[in-house]
Structure formats: C-alpha cells, structure tokens
Amino acid sequence: MKKQLTFAVIVLAIVAISIAVTDWRRNNFKPEDRSVSDPKAAIAIAVDVWTRIYGAKKIAAEKPYRANLEGDVWRVEGSLRVSPTDVDDRIIHIDSASPKTHRVVVVGGVATAIISKTNGQVLSVYHTK
C-alpha cells in the first residue's frame, strides 16, 4: 500500500509540474521579432512586394533603391534613371540657365512602399507616374 501511495504522489507531482510549465510557457510567449531595423531589410521587403505586383524587369530597372526612416515607418523608393536609349522619350525639358548647371526634367515614376518599422507590415504600395 505504501508503494502505491508513493507512486500516486509522484504521478500527481509530475502532472502538477507539467501544468505549471505549460501555463508559464503560454504566459511568457514572445512572438518572433519582426521589426525592420535597417534599410537593407526594408528594401528587401519592398522589392519582394514590388516584384509580385510590377514584375522583376520593371523593378530591377529602378535600382538603386533608397530607404528612409520617417518616424516608425520606412519609405522605400526606386530610382528614376535615364539611359541613352530613352533620352528622347523621357526628357521633356532641359534648363540651361547657368552654364555650370543643367536641370533635366524626366517623365516617369518609381515604385514606393511604406513599411512599419515595428512589425514589417507593408502599409502602402504604389507607383508614381
């Protein structure tokens, strides 16, 4: 009888400990850190989303990408480049008021993404014209 009582006490102790550990794990659960702490991570998220929407070729043409932290959100933008093959199509005005400086106005737009720094959520995606 003494052995049975000892066995029952041990089983009950094991059950009680496993319940306590389960409750502790549930109450102390920390989700995986999904914060976006640097520009490279923000750019990687934006490029992934842009590629799905606009296609890899169009997004690759907008390199280099820029990421600026504005408060708690990253603003990631592509770059508008003019290559020698599309100069005639995209340049609408050359201002040469000063012989040392020239301002070129180019028609076109870039992909933009707004990404939460705290959780990596993509808040907005659009392409300017």
SS3 labels along the chain: CHHHHHHHHHHHHHHHHHHHHHHHHHHCCCCCCCCCCCHHHHHHHHHHHHHHHHCHHHHHCCCCCEEEEECCEEEEECCCCCCHHHHHHHEEEEEEEECCEEEEEECCCCEEEEEECCCCCEEEEEECC
- pLDDT above 50 for 29: no
The percent of residues above 90 in pLDDT, for the chain, comes to 45
105 vs 43, higher pLDDT? 43
Most confidently predicted of 5-19, 46-60, 91-105: 46-60
Residue that the structure tokens 């550990």 belong to: 21
> What would the pLDDT profile of 56-87 be if each residue is shown by its tens digit?
999 999 999 999 999 999 999 999 876 555 55
Residue 50 and residue 6: Cα distance in Å, rounded? 65
The closest of 57, 54, 42 to 128, measured between CA atoms, is: 54
| Tokens at 99, concatenated | 């012989």
Domain locations in the chain?
1-30, 34-127
92 vs 113, higher pLDDT? 113
